[in-house]
Amino acid sequence: MAALEMVPVVSGSRDGRFAKILIWTGGTILVVVALAAIFAPLLSSWGPKEIDPNGTLAAPGGEHLLGSDGNGMDVWSRVLHAARIDLGIAICAVALAVVVGTLLGMLAGYLGGWVDDGLMRIVDIFQAFPTFILALAVSALLGGGFVNLVITIAAVNAPAYARLVRAEVRTLREMQYIDAAKTSGASTIGIMWRHLLPNSLTPVRVIAPLNCGWAMLTLAGLSFLGLGVTVPTAEWGSMISLGTSDVVAGRWWTSVPPGLALLVCVLGFSLLGEGLQERAEARRR
Amino acid sequence: MTAPAGTPGREAAMTVSLLDIQDLSVVIHRPGRSVAALSNVSFTVAPGEVVGLVGESGGGKSMVARAIVGMLPNGSHATGRVGFDGADVLRMDPADLAAHRGRGAAICFQNPRGALSPTRTVGRQLIDRLVTHQKMTGDRAAESAKELFASVGIRNPGRRLEAFPHELSGGMAQRVMISLATGCAPGLLIADEPTTGLDVTLTREILRQFRHAADTDGRGVLLISHDLASIAEVCDRVVVLYAGTVVETGPAAKVLREPAHPYTRALLRSVPDVNGGRVVPTAGGMPLMTAAPHDCPFAPRCAHAGEDCRTARPETTSLTDGWSLACFHPQETALFAPQEAAPASPSDPAPLPDPQGGSSVAPGASVTADNAEQAGRVVLRVQDAHVVYRSRFGSGGHHALRGVDLELRAGETLGVVGESGCGKSTLAKLIMGLVEPSSGSVAVAGKTVGKMSRVERTRAQMVFQDPIGSLSPRRTVADSIAEPLRAAKVPADARAAKTEAALSRMELDNSILTRYPHELSGGQAQRVGIARALVGQPDLIVFDEPTSALDVTVQAQILDVIADVASDAGHGSVFISHDLATVRGFADRVVVLYLGRVVEEGPVDEVFDRPKHPYTRALLGSAPRLGESRTAEVQLVKDLDEADAATGCALAARCPFVTDTCRSQEQTLQSYGESRAACWRVPELTALIGKSA
């Protein structure tokens, strides 16, 4: 009997398992990189700024695991130590951008009126410039150093969060639970802190990891151009910059390892961000 | 497995059935869980027949509709047969399915404005459809589009064809949707909750369109609804679904008057009646089936359930006249006594453990003597309040309230009724201080709302329409309930004690305190909402359509709780609803709003039994009544959106008794006995209605 056989409808969309794989892969990569950064001194026999007078541009193998650069510094050790700077600056900068952007976005979105107009025009000014050009200008203004670089990259990214959170808050403030909070006697700050903040952060949670990857690229780009971290401090962008001339001469080991490190790290952030986004979508279904 | 026992009914024997669903089961597999959406569903629809598919959400109504048009969700596994004109929809190939969807079966969706493409005129959308499915030429299609619009009761069809979906009111959009569905001349028309969200005066009109489609064109119509009472009038037969199983099938009149399955009875008893009949709540909610049931899925909520119900699933057995049901203990007593809707026999299910159950629906008994002096104080006074929503740019705006006067004392319950757009919600927001009056004043417990401190404002509390949406998604239940106390700076331990007290009054377990809103059912969430309103012992509670988002049996449970809360002597209650019957249940006085004006007010029995204003009569005439045939006294002539009154009576454009005086001058509220109404023609009205009938 035809009626007894089962008619399946094939599932076309991805489910939560795919998201899980992405999150785990991205997370694992980042944890490995972070561990490498933390235990860098134990993993390499040379210091990051230590110069081997006998071995400039030594090929990989032998005394230097990944060879040494033109200054005679150990590439492996520098790649590991650079993770501290790159990861540190990227995460701090994004954290700062999230805090500042969320605060501005929430004020603009909830209060509306001239506060909104004023804040959003400032955001417009920031967003009118291409991100990297703006980063160049700000870092040229502030100069290098860990704190200044964090501020530079945060300043470039904060406006996007301000817009995101503002849009979210504009929708949320019309929700019934905000009316319910008002009639329960909650103050404006109470409503923002207790109701708007926790509910408006959902998209931020998804964007922030992706943003960490971009922040890392911005930092590397600045350093590559000599505006970020400079030699002798180990940083992937400046290492690549230093090694460009060597590549032409066939000495790939000075710039390829930091480049690969950067790639893996950004990939980790991207996978994590994509995974979070997938999970959010899977939950919505 | 339960096989469809016997061919259901006369119709099937007399005519060839158009739709023949046999033993349809659908299991949806999702990672981590599977849901048995339908289990062995069988029923038929013949051409020219209107079949109602009834049940609460989760019952599988929409899944049936999806199965008929071959749009089962991803990951579902179907067995059985969805016979349509001899073919099996479940096993059609994509090309046949595409043809079947347009010409075989067409769907009218619940949200018509969402189902219409927003950037194209409705005429264009209809003509396109005619050209594709009917192979008409452009001119011919435009002609028949006009005819189709006229046939669904759209006035001025030529002009409406040019309209964009956002320019249409809900009722008009649903009419367009019907014309789109009928345009391809389908054999079967499926309407998925076509009147949800529409006003009572429109609901009947839209439902009639479906009856019309069946009668004139011989289409089969499958009318899906959660509300048995309102669709029963136009249906030939009804099919009642519960947890994915068909529990009762039969002729509409039979099932509506003498339902035999305990669930059908529970469903009908949960609907409040405009005549003031008592609501009998049934505890519990619909279970989510993970596999086809091996017992009676209703057994845990059923008062008649015996051991057999819990061990075996009742087979579908035929009674008379195509009436069949799946129950071991069919009930035979009449659900409603003739004429009056009195509480039925004591054997009926009322298992809600409610010690104060007696206080539920007795309006007069709300004020007890020892609370008399407390009950006397005025808790709400609204004087000549106007609200104008101004547009941000330039002049103009929407005049939502036009001079409303209200007074409410502690212990009293005031019902506010009217169609959507009449200013009900604005009134609620005005009282709560969420909008400022443009002129006039609002005072709660003697203090002007605009001048209150934050803590004083918590003296008025509100219970919202959307139970889950009114709770902050990332705050626990405990946090939400205690919010008014936090504002009043009540210390944490006292807060916890009061929260638990409020919770136990709502018959909720303390374990719910740590949960988040999305983990709650609609009924639980609304109980939490009421607990939040009660916890600070306010002077005034405003209920803004508190049950309209809930399922019928849950609605009855919540109404029972609200009736109990509203009868407290310590505070006054305002109960806002578009549903007259729920207001009748427990309001002492009632106010009828129309376009921001009070058109009639008075004691609830007076207004409902002896309405003065034509608008009130029209509303009452449109309300569904159980167990009796209705007599519509006054029929309004147009939809609300078509009526724009610059001067004179606001109802003038829609009122069948309009005179020149009505068009030029507005009447103020005049006393007629115990109630007051604003209409020039009240004295002559009884005679006028007699003449027109």
pLDDT digits (tens, 9 = 90+) for A38-47: 998 888 888 8
Chain mean position to CA B640: 19
Distance (Å, whole) CA B638 – CA B653: 8
Terminal Cα distance for chain A, rounded: 35
Chain mean position to CA B289: 25
B290 in Cβ contact with B302 (< 8 Å): no
Asked whether the beta carbons of residue A179 and residue B483 sit closer than 8 angstroms, the reply is no
Distance from CA of B15 to the nearest CA of A (A): 23
Tokens 């002597």 appear where?
Answer: B569
Residue A176 half-sphere exposure toward CB, CA atoms < 13 A: 18
Nearest by CB to residue A185, choosing from B454, B462, B475, is: B454
Distance from CA of A11 to the nearest CA of B (A): 4
Q: What is the pLDDT of residue B5?
A: 40
pLDDT digits (tens, 9 = 90+) for B469-522: 899 988 999 999 999 998 888 898 899 999 999 998 888 888 889 999 988 888
DSSP H helices, A44-145, are 75-111, 113-128, 131-142
Average pLDDT over residues A224-240: 85
Distance (Å, whole) CA B154 – CA B38: 37
Residue B347 CB neighbour total at 10 angstroms: 10
B578 in Cβ contact with B202 (< 8 Å): no
Dihedral angle computed from the Cα positions of residues B548, B553, B557 and B562, in that order, rounded to the nearest 10 degrees: 20
Residue A141 CB neighbour total at 10 angstroms: 9
% of chain B surpassing 90 pLDDT = 16
The fold of B365-604 is: Rossmann fold (3.40.50)
CA-wise closest residue to B543 among A171, A183, A175, A194: A183
* Statement: residue A30 has pLDDT above 50: yes
B-chain residues within 8 Å CB-CB of A11? Answer: 29, 74-75
Ranges of residues in chain B whose predicted pLDDT is under 50: 1-14, 338-372
Residue B555 CB neighbour total at 10 angstroms: 26
Chain mean position to CA B31: 34
- B72 close to A (CB below 8 A): yes
Q: What is the pLDDT of residue B646?
A: 60
Distance (Å, whole) CA B603 – CA B600: 10
Q: Return phi, psi of residue B556, to 5°.
A: -65, -40
B-chain residues within 8 Å CB-CB of A183? Answer: 432-434, 457-458, 460-462
A-chain residues within 8 Å CB-CB of B81? Answer: 2-3
Chain B, residues 315-334, CB within 8 A of chain A, namely none
Superfamily of domain B11-113+188-199+211-325, CATH level 4: P-loop containing nucleotide triphosphate hydrolases (3.40.50.300)
- Indicate if B365-604 has the same CATH topology as B11-113+188-199+211-325: yes
Q: What is the pLDDT of residue A260?
A: 93
Q: What is the pLDDT of residue B374?
A: 56
CA-wise closest residue to A149 among A161, A140, A158: A140
Element (H, E) at B406: strand B397-409
CATH number of A33-46+67-284: 1.10.3720.10
A19 in Cβ contact with A282 (< 8 Å): yes
Distance (Å, whole) CA B343 – CA B441: 43
Instruction: Indicate the angle between helix axes A16-38 and A75-111, nearest 10 degrees.
Output: 130
The three state secondary structure string of B33-98 is EEEEEEEEEEEEECCCCEEEEECCCCCCHHHHHHHHCCCCCCCEEEEEEEEECCEEHHHCCHHHHH
B598 in Cβ contact with B615 (< 8 Å): no
Give the list of residues 6+ apart from residue B503 with CB closer than 8 angstroms, or none.
B481, B509, B510, B512, B513, B528, B531
Residue of A177, A189, A195 to mutate, testing the B interface (most B Cβ within 10 Å of its Cβ): A177
**Residue A145 identity:** G
Element (H, E) at B402: strand B397-409
Average pLDDT over residues A221-244: 85
Chain B, residues 480-519, CB within 8 A of chain A, namely 480, 483-484, 486-488
Q: What is the pLDDT of residue B389?
A: 82
Distance (Å, whole) CA B642 – CA B640: 5
A-chain residues within 8 Å CB-CB of B88? Answer: 2-3
B427 in Cβ contact with B576 (< 8 Å): yes
**Could you give the C-alpha distances from B113 to B148, B170, B192, B330, in angstroms and in order?**
18, 7, 14, 42
| B154 DSSP assignment | -
Q: What share of chain B is helix, strand, coil (3-state, %, to 5)?
A: 40, 20, 40
% of chain A surpassing 70 pLDDT = 95
B-chain residues within 8 Å CB-CB of A3? Answer: 22-23, 79-81, 88
Query: b/e map of B650-661 (b: 16 or more CB within 10 Å)?
Result: bbbbbbebbeee
Average pLDDT over residues A129-147: 87
Tokens 């005086």 appear where?
Answer: B661
Environment class of A105 (CB within 10 Å of its CB; exposed 0-12, middle 13-18, buried 19+): buried
Q: What is the pLDDT of residue B349?
A: 40
Q: What is the pLDDT of residue B98?
A: 85
**Domain definitions of chain A by residue range:** 33-46+67-284
- B120 close to A (CB below 8 A): no
Q: What is the pLDDT of residue B399?
A: 80
Q: What is the pLDDT of residue B342?
A: 38
B-chain residues within 8 Å CB-CB of A176? Answer: 464-466, 469-470
Give the list of residues 6+ apart from residue B116 with CB closer than 8 angstroms, or none.
B122, B125, B165, B173, B176, B177, B180
User: Can you tell me the ipTM of this complex?
Assistant: 0.76
The three state secondary structure string of B311-347 is HCCCCCEECCCCCEECCCCCCCCCCCCCCCCCCCCCC
Q: What is the pLDDT of residue B240?
A: 92
Average pLDDT, chain A: 87
* Statement: residue A231 has pLDDT above 80: no
- A14 close to B (CB below 8 A): no
Distance (Å, whole) CA B360 – CA B563: 5
B-chain residues within 8 Å CB-CB of A17? Answer: 31
Give the list of residues 6+ apart from residue B632 with CB closer than 8 angstroms, or none.
B621, B622
Nearest by CB to residue B487, choosing from A177, A186, A195, is: A186
Q: Facing residues of B25 across strands?
A: B79
- A283 close to B (CB below 8 A): no
Q: What is the pLDDT of residue B360?
A: 38
**Domain definitions of chain B by residue range:** 11-113+188-199+211-325, 365-604, 610-693
pLDDT digits (tens, 9 = 90+) for A148-196: 999 999 999 999 999 999 999 999 988 889 999 988 888 889 899 989 9
Q: What is the pLDDT of residue B392?
A: 61
Distance (Å, whole) CA B184 – CA B178: 11
A-chain residues within 8 Å CB-CB of B518? Answer: none
Bridge-based pairing of strands B245-251 and B324-325 is: antiparallel
Tokens 């007078």 appear where?
Answer: A53
Task: Identify the closest residue of chain A to B24 by CA–CA distance.
Answer: A3
